[in-house]
Amino acid sequence: DAGVIQSPRHEVTEMGQEVTLRCKPISGHDYLFWYRQTMMRGLELLIYFNNNVPIDDSGMPEDRFSAKMPNASFSTLKIQPSEPRDSAVYFCASSLAGDRGMYEQYFGPGTRLTVT
Amino acid sequence: AQSVTQLDSQVPVFEEAPVELRCNYSSSVSVYLFWYVQYPNQGLQLLLKYLSGSTLVKGINGFEAEFNKSQTSFHLRKPSVHISDTAEYFCAVRGYSSASKIIFGSGTRLSIRP
């Protein structure tokens, strides 16, 4: 398997613009996660899905952030409008489900977002 | 709910020296434990995991960790580090409940000096 695929790998945009990050999880995985990583705040869980349904979005910082998973092989994280403080590396991860919930997560390479 | 504490934000060591990265967790229920490694400009990848059974877990790249239930710890060790081990290491915990999610620590940056 190719692993978790994220695009784009780098995104530079101006404040106020809409940004869409994309993720393709590992085939057959039941869970999909979106994380944000910054020097100041470390690794933060934004939202996660189980079988395409959002389960916990308590980490989404503001209404400017939204995430969708229209099918088992694709998810998007959208920021509209973007602000400089959104600059970070955004990771997507996926995992299988077992008898006791999710197993270990497999991370994508990340999207480095810079908002100027 | 679970939480995890990585006591050291940075650990500098000399090449070929042993290293221990500390991790303590808090939970009212039984847990699964993980160590992930993040090399520069890459995503996190699983180093090792403890699900059940033997408390000494061996992972990739010569790393191992020991689950100590009485001390609620899961410290990561390597007897002899290499320059290529320079990375950030994250400890993570998850409760047994099917509704539990994985909670990550704040990370420990391991820097290897030649």
Question: pLDDT tens for residues B9-25?
Answer: 999 999 999 999 999 99
Decide which of B38 and B41 is more confident. B38
The pLDDT value given to residue B5: 95
* Unique residue bearing structure tokens 């933060």: A44
Q: Do A4 and B97 touch (CB under 8 A)?
A: no
Nearest to B46 among A104, A108, A110 (CB): A104
Q: Do A110 and B42 touch (CB under 8 A)?
A: yes
The pLDDT value given to residue B58: 95
Q: Do B43 and A105 touch (CB under 8 A)?
A: no
Q: Report the gap between the CA of A43 and the closest CA in chain B (Å).
A: 7
From the list A113, A99, A114, A98, the residue with the least C-alpha distance to A34 is A113
DSSP state of A16: T
Task: Using an 8 Å CB-CB cutoff, list chain A residues near B34.
Answer: 104
Nearest to A107 among B45, B99, B106 (CB): B45
Decide which of A38 and A2 is more confident. A38
Whether the predicted pLDDT of A102 surpasses 70: no
Contact A47, A60 (CB under 8 A): yes
Contact B90, B107 (CB under 8 A): yes
Residue B84: how many CB atoms within 10 A of its CB?
10
The pLDDT value given to residue B30: 86
The pLDDT value given to residue A74: 97
The pLDDT value given to residue A100: 58
Q: Could you report the per-residue pLDDT of A17-57, keeping only the tens digit for each?
A: 999 999 999 999 999 999 999 988 889 999 999 999 999 99
Nearest to A109 among B42, B46, B99 (CB): B42
**pLDDT band at residue A86, thresholds of 50, 70 and 90?**
very high
Whether the predicted pLDDT of B84 surpasses 80: yes
Coil, strand or helix: which one is A84? helix
Distance between CA B30 and CA B39 in Å, rounded?
A: 30
DSSP state of A25: P
Q: Report the gap between the CA of A111 and the closest CA in chain B (Å).
A: 10
Q: Any idea what the Cα angle at residue B2 is, between residues A112 and B5, rounded to 5°?
A: 65
From the list A18, A31, A19, A26, the residue with the least C-alpha distance to A90 is A19
Task: Using an 8 Å CB-CB cutoff, list chain A residues near B98.
Answer: 99-101
Task: Using an 8 Å CB-CB cutoff, list chain B residues near A107.
Answer: 36, 43-45
* Unique residue bearing structure tokens 């689950």: B67
The pLDDT value given to residue A101: 56
Whether the predicted pLDDT of B39 surpasses 90: yes
Distance between CA A15 and CA A37 in Å, rounded?
A: 19
Q: Do B104 and A43 touch (CB under 8 A)?
A: yes
From the list B43, B110, B103, B105, the residue with the least C-alpha distance to B77 is B110
